[in-house]
Structure 1
Amino acid sequence: MSDKTHLPVGAEAIRDKGWLTAHKYLLLRRASQLFFLFLFLMGPWLGIWWVKGNLSGSLTFDILPLTDPFIAAQGIIAGHWPALTALIGALIVGVAYALIGGRVYCSWVCPINPVTDGAHWLHDKLGMTKGWQPKRETRYYVLGMVLAVSLLTGTIAWEFVNPISMLHRGLIFGVGFAWAFVLAVFLFDFAVSRRGWCGHLCPVGAFYNLLGTASVLRVTAKNRAACDDCMDCFAVCPENHVITPALRGQDDDTPLILSPDCTNCGRCIDVCAPEVFEFTHRFDATPAPGRVRAKSTPAPRADKAA
């Protein structure tokens, strides 16, 4: 394993590329998350109603309907057939995320992502142990349970506890019970399970994961032969199991990260000094030579893996 694993995460990239370039996609994601959140808050806060509603369902300029397809699915299962505009909105959103990557929602739009990222940052700063890690498949069981409860109760069940909606309500109405759900997510990721909410439990992420199974936008380890084993990509990736097949592959193995678990957050691109990773599309057939290495490849260090 490289001596560079002992450097702080991202230090080599900051040295070689500069601080801004080494944080480019992180900064763009935060700007994107704030932008979408502000669109929904302009009405209640400033009286500018360009967008009415929230991430569950909205109407932009009184023309463009957008509906969370997960919400629409719950409504249909509950026996409440959505209005035509809501169905059109769900179709628009569904097709968009099916093309660009379902979990792009998680990393570029969802306002809970900064909350869980903050919990992860503090967790690492304090040197806390990894904690309890439920299986990643657990989120699909939670997704199934949400749909089952919607069917049995005739309600859009997830909206009663959805931290995304609660955060939106809290920002509009101020301090109140809604913040308890947001705080619970933060404390869960901070004290119970590192990256546990988004990566292991959230049914919204599970739904968008399924939606983006065949998405076009992908990250590729195109320059994997230049990898210096610093392990920083594993440290920052919220779903670091998706990296190994692309990065450790041989000549005949695709360098594309094709797992729908990938959130396309771009942090692996940010922190990689030799610039192994880049955004591309799933039809990119550019050859990427495998790496010459010993038969046994050391696993990511437990204290650096995200």
Structure 2
Amino acid sequence: MSEKTALPVGQEAIQEKGWWKAHRFLILRRLTQAFFLGLFLLGPWFGIWWVKGNLAGSMTFDILPLTDPFVLLQGIVGQHWPEMTAIIGALIVGVAYALIGGRVYCSWVCPINPVTDAAHWLHDKLGLAKGWQPKRNTRFWVLGMVFVVSALTGTIAWEFVNPISMLHRGLIFGMGFAWTFVLAVFLFDLVVSRRGWCGHLCPVGAFYGLLGQGSLLRVSAVNRAECDDCMDCFAVCPEMHVITPALRGADEDTPIILSPDCTNCGRCVDVCAPDVFKFTTRFDTTPAPARASRRNKQRQPEASRAA
């Protein structure tokens, strides 16, 4: 372990790169989340109907249909054949996330992400225990159960309890029972299971992870030879198990993070002082040649003096 593990997470990156570069993807994520949510609220709040609907299904400028393919499939297994506009909308969304990475939805669009991030921040501040950690494949069992219940009941089952939809309804219609679901997710991540909701239970994340398995956009530990073992990337990653194969792999192993669990949130890029990580494509598989590390650079003057 490096002595730098004693520093606050991201502190070295702030010192080396400046505050903006050490937080840029986090800030951009918050802006995009607020942007997409704001588009849906323009109509109900201000009467500006550029976008009608919500993240489950919408129509932009009365021209562009967008449909959550997860919702569409629930309707189909529930024996409700969708209209052509819904099918086109689902194809548009599905192809987009298949190319850029399915779980980009989780970190850049989903309005519940700031809720779970806030719970994780408070969890760390309070020094709470890790808590119960269900197996990561639990979310796939939940995903399967959603389709089974939809088939048995003839409904879009997840929408009855979906905290994303509940948050949207709460913002439009005011505080009410819908907020109970959002609060439950926050408390679950805070006191029951650290990063438990998105990382272990949410079927939406499971679905989009499957959708984006072959996506082009990836994070790469391209400069992994420069890693100084500060562990900050592991501390901020919501799916920290995805980092190890790329960062700790042998020379011949790909530096690309290929796991569909990766949300492409960019926090590992933010907090890494030696710039080990970068966004790239899945075809950029060659690690960069090792540069002279800062540790060696610091030793060179000492060696010169000794000579």
TM normalised by structure 1 equals 0.94
Question: Does the 8 Å CA contact 1:249/1:290 hold for their aligned counterparts?
Answer: no
Q: Give the structure 2 partner of residue 143 of structure 1.
A: 143
Amino acid at match of 1:32: T
Q: Give the structure 2 partner of residue 182 of structure 1.
A: 182
* 1:86-129 Cα distance to aligned partner (Å, 9 max, x none): 00000000000000000000000000000000000000000000
Q: Give the structure 1 partner of residue 285 of structure 2.
A: 285
Mapped to 1, the partners of 2:26 and 2:127 lie a distance apart of: 22
Mapped to 2, the partners of 1:95 and 1:168 lie a distance apart of: 25
Q: Give the structure 1 partner of residue 246 of structure 2.
A: 246
Q: Deviation at 1:289?
A: 5.2
Larger radius of gyration: 2
Q: Give the structure 2 partner of residue 220 of structure 1.
A: 220
Mapped to 1, the partners of 2:8 and 2:48 lie a distance apart of: 44
Q: Give the structure 1 partner of residue 45 of structure 2.
A: 45
Amino acid at match of 2:218: R
Mapped to 2, the partners of 1:196 and 1:121 lie a distance apart of: 14
Q: Provide the secondary structure at the position in 1 that maps to 2:65.
A: strand
Mapped to 2, the partners of 1:267 and 1:277 lie a distance apart of: 10
Mapped to 1, the partners of 2:286 and 2:74 lie a distance apart of: 41
Amino acid at match of 1:131: G
Q: Give the structure 2 partner of residue 201 of structure 1.
A: 201
Q: Deviation at 1:50?
A: 0.2
Question: Does the 8 Å CA contact 1:23/1:270 hold for their aligned counterparts?
Answer: yes
Work out whether 1:85 is the aligned partner of 2:98. no
Mapped to 2, the partners of 1:290 and 1:258 lie a distance apart of: 22
Question: Does the 8 Å CA contact 2:13/2:270 hold for their aligned counterparts?
Answer: yes
Q: Deviation at 1:290?
A: 8.2
Question: Which ranges in structure 2 are unaligned for 5 or more consecutive residues?
Answer: 292-307
Mapped to 1, the partners of 2:66 and 2:48 lie a distance apart of: 18
The aligned runs of 1:8-19 (5 Å cut-off) are 8-19=8-19
Mapped to 1, the partners of 2:194 and 2:219 lie a distance apart of: 24
Mapped to 1, the partners of 2:254 and 2:136 lie a distance apart of: 24
Amino acid at match of 2:152: L
Mapped to 1, the partners of 2:285 and 2:271 lie a distance apart of: 24
Q: Deviation at 1:286?
A: 3.0
Q: Deviation at 1:43?
A: 0.1
The aligned runs of 1:33-112 (5 Å cut-off) are 33-112=33-112
Work out whether 1:128 is the aligned partner of 2:128. yes
Q: Deviation at 1:4?
A: 0.4
Mapped to 2, the partners of 1:112 and 1:46 lie a distance apart of: 23
Question: Which ranges in structure 1 are unaligned for 5 or more consecutive residues?
Answer: 292-306
Q: Give the structure 1 partner of residue 267 of structure 2.
A: 267
Mapped to 2, the partners of 1:289 and 1:85 lie a distance apart of: 50
Amino acid at match of 2:18: G
TM normalised by structure 2 equals 0.94
Question: Does the 8 Å CA contact 1:224/1:289 hold for their aligned counterparts?
Answer: no
The aligned runs of 1:228-243 (5 Å cut-off) are 228-243=228-243
Question: Does the 8 Å CA contact 1:251/1:289 hold for their aligned counterparts?
Answer: no
